[in-house]
């Protein structure tokens, strides 16, 4: 029992320290599946391959989700597929942590061998046994790696004779031994046609044809499979100019509509829609409960990209909209109107709340240096003032009542005690004077009667 527990523990440790899973050997040109776990991360996913061609893959990470990709193995050696979460969000800390590699799968690529003896090569895939007829023996010989079987006369030529595209120019110029190319395309180009031919008539070419383009980088793989199964992959990266085609103005800034939004995750509970901006239809997102519509724009001067609130009736941008998590509160940062920036007893400027920098207020009274006031939108779409206390690192709704320090509180108590004592004395004096007055009146009445 102890040995079993130790073995299970060792397997668990190996799994933790080796995110790239290693599988049994497969033949060149065979299809294999790669997996990785998202864990605590969320974000768009980039899938990378070495000595392999990815044919399909998951493209977004949700917390706890397992990603899968299907790939075709290349030539003899090692083929691998890895997953990277782009602009990953750590869902525990609710903050961006950059690009995070979450692992993948690696396989050994080698033709199946009949050698089942010792000698300790790589792990072999065991095939079901078949009657050893002369035909079966010949089939097994044909599946062996040509580098290991001197009798295999099948061609291993997996070069291209030509590679061309319908728009733009490949860089560098085509050469059979050059496997990576790049082409720059204008913003108006939405598709290209890839053509290629194999140097050997018995080789097969895959990955050609018409390809749809998105603004930014588009990666296409063309594979050549030789007669003996050896695979070579050529890659074309088509870069479509991302320069915006639609512009608008906001706060004196020239903002362009971002065209490449395939990796952009909409804020919570917002769904995709379209709106008219500058007379042209552009992609947008809306939240009917909050009654807010967003567009995704880039600042022409700083190249900073953000969501902006769009007034569908006036067809204009009215404010910036930055989804942010502050101390467990999901809020949205917006530009504060000038008429609200000035408050009596406060200084307006850049402040820091926990780890987030934003615009807000500090008290002019140095006794309240550990307090900060901010103005943000809550999840219901309502603008709210919040007060942040640095010492306890707490955030709560702010009623615009000034905080009170301990010294000020103690002074206030003492002043109230003094005021109460004075009030008692005054009441006592007033009571005495009242009694004296009453006695004087009674005495005067009696005296008046005696005189009569």
- Is the pLDDT at 449 greater than 50? The verdict is yes
Phi (first) and psi of residue 418, to 5 degrees: -60, -40
Q: Is 331 exposed, middle or buried (0-12, 13-18, 19+ CB in 10 A)?
A: buried
- Is the pLDDT at 163 greater than 90? The verdict is yes
**Mean of per-residue pLDDT scores for the chain:** 81
- Is the pLDDT at 405 greater than 70? The verdict is no
Among the ranges given (2-16, 93-107, 166-180), the one the predictor scored with the smallest mean pLDDT: 2-16
Residue 439 has a pLDDT of 65
pLDDT above 70 coverage of the chain, percent:
75
Residue 448 has a pLDDT of 62
Show the tokens assigned to 384: 């709210």
- Is the pLDDT at 5 greater than 60? The verdict is no
CA distance to 36, 42, 84, 255, 321, per residue, from 90 (Å):
16, 7, 14, 30, 21
- Is the pLDDT at 313 greater than 80? The verdict is yes
pLDDT grade for 414, boundaries at 50, 70 and 90: low
* 3-class secondary structure, 406: helix
pLDDT above 90 coverage of the chain, percent:
48
Strand partners, 82: 48, 104
Distance CA 300, CA 308 (A): 14
Whether 259 contacts 240, CB under 8 Å: no
Distance CA 218, CA 220 (A): 7
- Would the pTM count as exceeding 0.75? no
pLDDT one-digit tens code per residue, 207-251: 999 999 988 889 999 999 999 999 999 999 999 988 888 999 999
**What mean pLDDT comes out for the span 334-359?**
94
Residue 12 has a pLDDT of 38
**What mean pLDDT comes out for the span 164-187?**
94
For residue 172, say if its preceding peptide bond is cis, omega within 30 degrees of 0. yes
Among the ranges given (45-59, 106-120, 234-248, 387-401), the one the predictor scored with the smallest mean pLDDT: 106-120
Among the ranges given (102-106, 236-240, 423-427), the one the predictor scored with the smallest mean pLDDT: 423-427
Q: 56 vs 423, which has greater pLDDT?
A: 56
- Is the pLDDT at 10 greater than 50? The verdict is no
**What mean pLDDT comes out for the span 115-120?**
41
Residue 7 has a pLDDT of 40
Residue 209 has a pLDDT of 95
CATH 2.60.40 location in the chain: 2-114
Q: 410 vs 187, which has greater pLDDT?
A: 187
- Fold type of domain 2-114: Immunoglobulin-like (2.60.40)
Distance CA 238, CA 222 (A): 13
**What mean pLDDT comes out for the span 432-452?**
65
**What mean pLDDT comes out for the span 123-141?**
40
Residue 227 has a pLDDT of 93
| Residue 142 DSSP symbol | H
**What mean pLDDT comes out for the span 69-81?**
89
Closest to 290 in 3D by CA, of 265, 305, 310: 310
pLDDT grade for 438, boundaries at 50, 70 and 90: confident
Residue 233 has a pLDDT of 96
Q: Tell the residue number behind the tokens 């008046």, with chain if given.
A: 448
pLDDT grade for 300, boundaries at 50, 70 and 90: confident
For the chain, the helix, strand and coil percentages under 3-state DSSP, each to the nearest 5? 15, 45, 35
User: E-assigned strands of 207-279?
Assistant: 209-212, 216-225, 231-240, 247-250, 253-257, 271-277
User: E-assigned strands of 264-370?
Assistant: 271-277, 280-287, 292-299, 305-311, 316-326, 329-333, 346-353, 356-363
- Is the pLDDT at 96 greater than 90? The verdict is no
Strand partners, 395: 388
Distance CA 439, CA 254 (A): 88
Residue 116 has a pLDDT of 43
Neighbours of 227 (CB within 10 A): 18
- Is the pLDDT at 114 greater than 90? The verdict is no
Residue 293 has a pLDDT of 96
Distance CA 206, CA 122 (A): 29
Whether 210 contacts 138, CB under 8 Å: no
Among the ranges given (123-127, 376-380, 430-434, 448-452), the one the predictor scored with the smallest mean pLDDT: 123-127
Q: 370 vs 91, which has greater pLDDT?
A: 370
450's enclosing H/E stretch is helix 406-451
Residue 121 has a pLDDT of 38
Order the strands of the 60-61 sheet from edge to edge. 20-26, 95-109, 77-90, 41-50, 60-61
**HSE-CB for 2 with a 13 A CA cutoff:** 0
Distance CA 257, CA 78 (A): 43
């Amino acid at each position: 029992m102890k040995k079993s527990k130790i073995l299970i523990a060792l397997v668990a440790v190996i799994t933790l320290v080796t995110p790239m899973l290693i599988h049994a050997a497969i033949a060149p040109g065979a299809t294999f599946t790669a997996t990785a776990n998202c864990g605590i991360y969320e974000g768009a996913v980039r899938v990378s391959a070495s000595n392999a061609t990815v044919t399909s893959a998951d493209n977004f990470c949700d917390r706890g989700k397992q990603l899968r990709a299907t790939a075709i193995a290349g030539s003899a050696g090692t083929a691998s597929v890895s997953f990277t979460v782009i602009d990953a969000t750590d869902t525990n800390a609710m903050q961006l942590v950059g690009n995070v590699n979450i692992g993948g799968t690696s396989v050994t690529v080698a033709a199946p061998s009949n050698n089942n003896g010792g000698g300790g090569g790589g792990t072999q895939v065991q095939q079901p046994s078949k009657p050893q007829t002369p035909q079966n023996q010949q089939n097994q010989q044909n599946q062996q790696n040509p580098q290991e079987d001197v009798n295999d006369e099948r061609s291993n030529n997996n070069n291209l004779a030509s590679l061309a595209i319908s728009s733009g120019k490949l860089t560098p110029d085509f050469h059979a031994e050059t496997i990576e190319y790049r082409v720059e395309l204008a913003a108006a180009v939405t598709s290209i046609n890839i053509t290629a031919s194999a140097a050997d008539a018995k080789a097969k070419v895959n990955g050609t044809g018409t390809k749809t383009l998105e603004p930014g980088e588009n990666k296409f793989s063309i594979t050549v499979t030789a007669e003996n199964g050896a695979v070579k992959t050529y890659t074309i990266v088509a870069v479509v100019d991302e320069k915006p085609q639609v512009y608008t103005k906001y706060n004196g800034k020239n903002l362009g509509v971002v065209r490449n939004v395939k990796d952009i995750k909409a804020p919570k509970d917002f769904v995709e829609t379209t709106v008219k901006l500058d007379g042209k239809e552009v992609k947008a997102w809306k939240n009917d409960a909050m009654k807010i519509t967003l567009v995704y724009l880039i600042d022409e001067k700083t190249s900073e990209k953000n969501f902006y609130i769009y007034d569908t009736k006036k067809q204009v941008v009215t404010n910036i909209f930055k989804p942010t998590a502050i101390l467990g509160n999901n809020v949205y940062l917006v530009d504060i109107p000038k008429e609200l920036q000035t408050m009596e007893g406060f200084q307006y400027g850049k402040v820091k709340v926990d780890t987030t920098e934003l615009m807000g207020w500090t008290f002019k009274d140095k006794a309240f240096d550990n307090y900060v006031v901010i103005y943000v939108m809550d999840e219901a779409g309502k603008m709210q003032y919040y007060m942040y206390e640095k010492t306890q690192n707490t955030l709560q709704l702010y009623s615009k009542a000034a905080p009170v320090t301990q010294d000020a509180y103690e002074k206030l108590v003492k002043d109230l005690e003094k005021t109460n004592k004075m009030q008692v004395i005054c009441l006592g004096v007033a009571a005495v004077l009242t009694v004296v007055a009453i006695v004087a009146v009674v005495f005067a009445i009696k005296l008046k009667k005696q005189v009569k």
